[in-house]
């Protein structure tokens, strides 16, 4: 069976060396990312070997770190372009195994829209991944509209991935927990916080009318829907059209038409069943979250899904092939 995964990360140390002096002191990376640096930098070595051993046909790669968000204007534009050029070069000899989501210079939205179009048209990239807030701002801010407009025009999705929360949020909610940095980071990021923040991100875009303004735009979020399926009916009631938001459609109708979720890092059956019951099978895409989760963990989960072979294949590759034009 063909298997495609969409939330698979890379990070190239040689790009960090290109950052302007003084930027590195403001750089934020999780301890997990620092620990995984060797695996993140690899494309055609252990990564490809692990894919073949697990039976994964293709990974859609995306840049794990967001150094580009520390830059502005032409610096951000040029850095993102160099990163995307390097990523395209690393995967060009393996067209059957790899494609990519673009890194965008989101501090310069018009340049970000242009970079999205450049990478789609030049390299065949399949969309873009945006990681968390942009210097404390959610994407419903009007200035980010050019990116959504261009993505809709190009017919490619935007993947919103969690990012490290802003310092004010960390200090208010996620500090002074336990006796070491580990519990603080876990509750702020991969154990809870950044998942709920991504759900808030999507809800803000709904209430801002972004999905209605760009009705052909497709968005993707990971980790089995970032908690949204658990709040499905309650949030739908709270955010009905006419309740003060700018949305013209219900949450349920909007998300079933424009939102896709991946299984990344979530390898138990109850969350999948909840996603099936709410969003529906057409909107669920298989992912691993490599290297933060192992390919074998993902494959073991996939092979234990209690659905028909055709339905498992739809999650494993069919929905991704259709959404990304693979």
What three-state secondary structure class fits 261?
strand
Write out residues in the chain with pLDDT < 70, as ranges. 24-33, 179-182
DSSP E strands, the chain: 4-10, 58-63, 98-100, 128-131, 158-161, 219-221, 259-262, 284-285
* Residue in the block written with tokens 């960390």: 170
Tell me if 216 sits within 8 A of 152, measured CB to CB: yes
Task: Indicate the burial class of 308 (C-beta count within 10 angstroms; 0-12, 13-18, 19 or more).
Answer: exposed
Tell me if 282 sits within 8 A of 245, measured CB to CB: no
How many residues belong to the chain? 326
The answer to whether the bond into 276 is cis (omega within 30° of 0) is: no
**Residue 151: which CATH number?**
3.20.20.140
The answer to whether the bond into 300 is cis (omega within 30° of 0) is: no
| pLDDT score at 28 | 63
Tokens of 181: 């940095």
What three-state secondary structure class fits 11?
coil
Sign of the C-alpha dihedral computed for residues 21, 23, 183 and 39 taken in this order: negative
| pLDDT score at 127 | 98
pLDDT digits (tens, 9 = 90+) for 165-216: 888 888 888 888 876 566 788 888 888 888 999 999 999 999 999 999 999 9
Contacts with 136 (C-beta within 8 Å, 6 or more apart), sequence order: 166, 168
Provide the 10 A C-beta neighbour count for residue 34. Answer: 10
Q: How far is CA 46 from CA 43, 57, 290, in A?
A: 8, 15, 12
Q: Compute the distance between CA of residue 197 and CA of residue 64 in angstroms, rounded to an integer.
A: 18
| pLDDT score at 181 | 61
Range of the domain at 295: 4-324
Q: Which of 273, 307, 276, 260 is nearest to 6 (CA)?
A: 260
Instruction: State the total domains in the chain.
Output: 1
220: left (phi over 0), alpha (psi -120 to 50) or beta: beta
């Amino acid at each position: 069976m063909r298997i495609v995964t969409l939330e698979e990360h890379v990070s190239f140390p040689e790009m960090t060396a290109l950052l302007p002096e003084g930027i590195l002191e403001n750089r934020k990376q999780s301890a997990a990312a620092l620990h995984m640096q060797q695996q993140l930098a690899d494309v055609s070595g252990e990564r490809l070997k692990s894919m073949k051993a697990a039976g994964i046909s293709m990974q859609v790669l995306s840049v794990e770190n967001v150094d580009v968000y520390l830059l502005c204007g032409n610096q951000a534009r040029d850095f993102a372009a160099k990163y995307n050029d390097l990523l395209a070069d690393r995967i060009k000899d393996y067209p059957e195994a790899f494609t990519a989501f673009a890194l965008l210079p989101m501090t310069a939205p018009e340049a970000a829209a242009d970079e999205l179009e450049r990478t789609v048209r030049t390299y065949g990239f399949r969309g873009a991944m945006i990681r968390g807030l942009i210097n404390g701002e959610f994407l419903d801010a009007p200035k980010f509209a050019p990116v959504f407009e261009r993505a809709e025009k190009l017919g490619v999705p935007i993947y919103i991935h969690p990012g490290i929360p802003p310092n004010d949020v960390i200090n208010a909610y996620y500090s002074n927990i336990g006796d070491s940095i580990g519990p603080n980071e876990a509750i702020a990021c991969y154990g809870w916080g950044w998942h709920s923040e991504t759900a808030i991100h999507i809800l803000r875009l709904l209430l801002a009318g972004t999905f209605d303004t760009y009705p052909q735009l497709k968005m993707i979020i990971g980790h089995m829907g970032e908690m949204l399926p658990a709040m499905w009916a309650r949030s739908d009631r709270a955010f009905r059209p006419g309740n003060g938001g700018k949305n013209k459609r219900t949450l349920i109708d909007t998300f079933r038409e424009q939102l896709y979720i991946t299984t990344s890092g979530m390898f138990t059956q109850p969350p999948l069943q909840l996603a099936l019951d709410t969003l529906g099978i057409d909107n669920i895409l298989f992912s691993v979250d490599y290297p933060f989760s192992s390919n074998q963990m993902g494959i073991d989960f996939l092979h234990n899904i209690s659905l028909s072979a055709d339905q498992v294949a739809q999650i494993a590759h069919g929905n991704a092939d259709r959404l990304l034009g693979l």
